[in-house]
Amino acid sequence: MAEDLTIVSGSKQEKYISITAQIKALIDGEPDLTANLANIAAALKEQFGWFWVGFYMVKPNKTKGVDELVLGPFQGPVACTRIAKGRGVCGTSWAKEETIIVPDVEKFPGHIACSSASKSEIVVPLFNNGKVVGVLDVDSDMLDQFDDTDKVYLEAIVALIKH
Ligand code: SME
């Protein structure tokens, strides 16, 4: 397993090509989901320097009798712990089962502001056997930081995860 990441400069695509290969090497042969989610969050944060990168995983809330998103491995400031289906960008991505790009979080109805420093966001669902089992959430402290390149590569990265 690689112990050090190589951080590259260049275009967004060049950064993704480099970090995707390194993430693949980091998680290949490691069956533990939490360990792999933690290393993916760390690798993405190191390469891109985003404000917040992390996972929310679908888990049962036994008191309420429903599933909800629960905070998983992440890099960045402390964040909201639980998000209901359909709530915020994360809960909407889960409900719609698709990636959501938000150029300006203040214009997204129902956006959950874990931090007022967050300005734009992309949320990518994680699938296992056709079901959403979690989401990858990336926040930037600058407006309009995410586009189709992020969508394509982040979807490819989460597809590497073995559940
Ligand atoms: N903004 C997210 C909540 C998670 S935090 O940004 C880490 C949302 O609206 O779902």
Q: Which domains does the chain have, with CATH numbers?
A: 12-159 (3.30.450.40)
Q: What is the pLDDT of residue 3?
A: 66
DSSP result, 30-84: ---HHHHHHHHHHHHHHHH--SEEEEEEEEEETTTTEEEEEEEEEESS---SEE-
CA-proximal residue: ligand 1, atom 7 (nearest):
79
Query: What is the rounded CA–CA span in Å between residue 151 and residue 12?
Result: 12
Check residue 114 and give its pLDDT. 87
What per-residue confidence (pLDDT) applies to 95? 98
Low-confidence ranges of the chain (pLDDT < 70): 1-3
Residue 83 · residue 69 · CB < 8 Å: yes
Kindly report whether the global pTM for this prediction surpasses the value 0.95: yes
* Index of the ligand 1 atom closest to the CA of residue 93: 10
Mutate which of 101, 120, 121, 124 for ligand 1? The one with the most ligand atoms within 8 Å of its CB, which is: 121
Question: Which pLDDT score, from 0 to 100, does residue 24 have?
Answer: 97
